[in-house]
Amino acid sequence: MKKAIIGKKVGMTQIFDEAGKVIPVTVIEAGPCVVTAKMTEEKEGYSAVQLGYEEVAEKKLSKPEQGHLKKAGTGMLKHLKEFRLEETDKFEVGDVIKADIFASGDKVDATAISKGKGFQGTIKRLGQHRGPMAHGSKFHRHQGSNGACSSPSRVFKGKGMPGHMGCKKVTVQNLTVVRVDADKNLILVKGAVPGPRKALVTIKETTRANA
């Protein structure tokens, strides 16, 4: 992985290519991000850079976070993430990374927390079938049998059950960057990206470009 950036999901829209074909895109406000720390093989045992995103009031950060950012001299930043990039030598603490680190045609992976859908049944959560909907049937949308009685006298691990749906870390791989607006810090990615509007999104060079 050679490049990465942190941003926020603005929403979805559509644009037209040169042939007049409609392209559905997700608009991401990417960066500017500041390099707040560098990890080296000699000190930490691995090579990485830490990026900070979104300025925030000092009082909203913990004392250790304040001290870390004051030492770096980068100002107070809300979100900090590490990226194990291949060429960490070309980055220095204080460097600013903007949306133009990516270009049209790049393949990327987008990671975010998916929309939370609350407590859901197995039909919506897992796509299971419902029962007959006639009045005589007393089995419509509920779970039904979860396993045998005397043997094995338990429910197997991994059994699909009702429960909390969504609100999980999701990565969509091999998306295409359609357009980059460096002046407005916007990256337009073809297709859908996880999360609601204003969700924090991490964009990285894809690991599946040849898949």
Averaged over successive runs of 10 residues, the pLDDT of the chain (211 residues) comes to 89 90 92 87 86 89 90 88 84 86 89 94 91 89 84 89 93 92 91 92 83 55
Residue appearing with tokens 């895109």? 25
Looking at residue 24, its pLDDT comes to 94
Looking at residue 211, its pLDDT comes to 55
The H-or-E segment that residue 126 falls in is: helix 122-126
Helices (H), 60-118: 63-72
- 157: tokens are 């691990």
Radius of gyration of the chain measured on its C-alpha atoms: 23
Amino acid at 63: K
Helices (H), 11-143: 63-72, 122-126
The DSSP bridge partners found for residue 5 are 203
Looking at residue 209, its pLDDT comes to 62
Strand, helix or coil at 169? strand
